[in-house]
Amino acid sequence: MALVQAELTDSSTEKSLDYILIKQNSDGGWGESPASFSAQQYVALGKSSPAQTALVLFGLLNFLKGEKFQHIDTLRAPINSAVNYLLSTQMSGGLWNDISYVGVVFPQIQYARYPVFQEAIILMALGMYNGNIDSF
């Protein structure tokens, strides 16, 4: 996996981070509707999705690692909120109940859920967070 090499002064990096953070829900998670594909713009799911939250969290953690944690002050609170959301939505059996779609097969016709992937990406994101816990 390639890591992002970003400059702190890069305005596109700042705009991208701002965009991602604006989309974070008040519960700490993220959720995007499959309607975004057809609308060709972001459409909120209306609730947070554990799998989608983990995908964003995984991306942010990889970004931080690649840029040697230059944006840690900006991302610490949103990342901690995302982790808290994931931990609070984990069911007693250890899994998450996430019925959101994570793949577009045919727009407006068929969308996909990948239950094993959805659980795995959550565990990968939480594991990556745990491996860098000293930074948070």
Tens of each residue's pLDDT in the chain, 136 residues: 455 565 555 788 889 999 999 999 999 999 999 888 888 899 999 999 999 999 999 999 999 998 899 999 999 999 999 999 999 999 999 999 888 877 767 777 777 777 788 889 999 999 999 998 888 7
Within-domain flag for 14: no
Asked whether residue 100 is assigned to any structural domain, the reply reads yes
Evaluate whether residue 27 is within a structural domain.
no
Q: Give the helix/strand (H/E) hosting 105.
A: strand 103-106
Instruction: Give the predicted TM-score (pTM) of the model.
Output: 0.85
State the residue range of the domain holding 120. 49-136
- C-alpha 73/C-alpha 71 separation (Å) is 6
Total domains in the chain come to 1
Residue 40, φ and ψ in degrees, nearest 5: 60, 30
CA-based end-to-end distance of the chain: 23
